[in-house]
Amino acid sequence: MSSEYLPGLAGVPATKSNISSIDGEKGILAYRGYNIKELAEKSTFEETALLLLDGRLPLQHELDDFDRQLRSERRLKYKIRSIMKNLPTSGHPMEMLQTAVASLGMFYGGEEVLSDGIDGNDIDYIHSMSVKIISRMATIVAMWEHVRNGYDPIEPRSDLSHAANFLYMLDGKDPDPLAVKVMDACLVLHAEHTINASTFAAMVCSSTLASPFLVIAAAIGTLAGPLHGGANQRVVEMLQKIGRPEKAKAWLDQQLAENKVIWGMGHREYKTKDPRAIVLQKLMVEWGEKQGNLSPQFETALKLEELCEDALGPKGVYPNVDYYSGILYTEMGIAPDQFTPIFAISRVAGWLTHWREQLSDNRIFRPTQIYTGEGARAYTEMSRR
């Protein structure tokens, strides 16, 4: 057995999976073999989530049934609202989301099935928990926008799609069709991305047979970091700091001279532009055309990408999914600190799929280490130290 230490487990296979794949050289991401660009254009989040969970594109009646189940599970018990109302409003929404999701198991139960050593064949249990969590996470994120501002949350509607209902719950207005299209595509694009940090956290937690609510809470905590899901908020802050396209070159030169991070640029898996960033950029153009103009922030992003292509492209550093997602959300009037929670309400489909896959052939994760501490030492009495 190799004892080579690889920081961050870079390139170390941690599992076998048939859920998603990445071709970093060609810039291709596929869910169950289906190209993400085609899914973002032709599918919906509901269909994509079911594709991930079940491993195949659903028949119409299967999709209708799944959609009906999601719509029926949107409401939350009032005690969960009470928990949220008692959280500090200054806290980050990801901290709220992790707390609320972790508490769901206390109200909805089901984890007792795991205590018997579930072997992954209890599909009804796994499907039921997946529906409950996917549906309610969107509700929680939308509710928080009102709760933290001192208002009662808006009740979910059962006559809207997953994306449309989420947007409705954010501001209480019937959402614009283009906004629904953009949000739905964003949810599809963020739903799964092989064994990233948050997915690995979910898998490790899954391997202990913890409750699915705690599995997702573990993943949420991992996604919150700025080196993972939190980067989209940093991109918007970066673009706001730059201000205008004509200021981008001086800003970039200074960042590079000081070896500082260019948020939204580069990805460990891709040696070309992230395919998700390509789709998001097209959506941003479509959004701008409808509004009649491109936002200054988008123009700045385009200029910065052009400059980075010259400076960083030869190193294989190009825009990733975070580069344009935050700009789109900003244009839709969504608060910057809600960007990562939106990432989470999409990625939960992938996390739950990996939870299901982990349970199907489970073995608890227990990696080893290379000890670098002191050798054997005798205890020294306090008076002699």
User: Which residues contact residue 122 at a Cβ distance below 8 angstroms, ignoring those fewer than 6 apart?
Assistant: 113
- pLDDT at position 327 is 87
- Give the distance from CA 228 to its chain's centroid: 9
For domain 231-331, the question of CATH label 3.40.50.1970 is answered with: no
- pLDDT at position 116 is 53
- pLDDT at position 117 is 56
- pLDDT at position 279 is 94
3-state helix, strand, coil in the chain (%, to 5): 60, 5, 35
- pLDDT at position 255 is 92
What does the block give as tokens for 154? 């808006």
Interval 277-281 mean pLDDT: 92
Q: How far apart are the first and last CA of the chain?
A: 41
For tokens 């891709």, what's the residue? 270
- pLDDT at position 123 is 86
Per-residue confidence band for 115, with pLDDT thresholds at 50, 70 and 90: low
DSSP secondary structure string, 292-309? TS--HHHHHHHHHHHHHH
Model confidence, pTM: 0.91
Number of other residues whose CB lies within 10 A of the CB of residue 318: 23
For domain 37-225+335-360, the question of CATH label 3.40.800.20 is answered with: no
Residue 12: phi and psi, rounded to 5, are -90, 115
Per-residue confidence band for 112, with pLDDT thresholds at 50, 70 and 90: low
User: Burial, 59: exposed, middle or buried (Cβ in 10 Å; 0-12, 13-18, 19+)?
Assistant: exposed
- pLDDT at position 113 is 53
pLDDT at 300 over 80: yes
| Tens-place pLDDT, residues 90-106 | 999 999 999 999 999 88
Interval 63-81 mean pLDDT: 96
Largest CA distance in the chain: 78
pLDDT at 107 over 70: yes
Q: Which residue has the higher pLDDT, 270 or 131?
A: 131
Residues involved in catalysis: 267, 322
Give start-end residues of each CATH 1.10.230.10 domain in the chain.
231-331
Give start-end residues of each CATH 1.10.580.10 domain in the chain.
37-225+335-360
- Give the distance from CA 192 to its chain's centroid: 8
The whole-chain average pLDDT of the chain stands at 91
Per-residue confidence band for 120, with pLDDT thresholds at 50, 70 and 90: low
| Tens-place pLDDT, residues 243-261 | 999 999 999 999 999 999 8
- pLDDT at position 267 is 83
Q: Which residue has the higher pLDDT, 22 or 2?
A: 22
| Tens-place pLDDT, residues 197-209 | 999 999 999 999 9
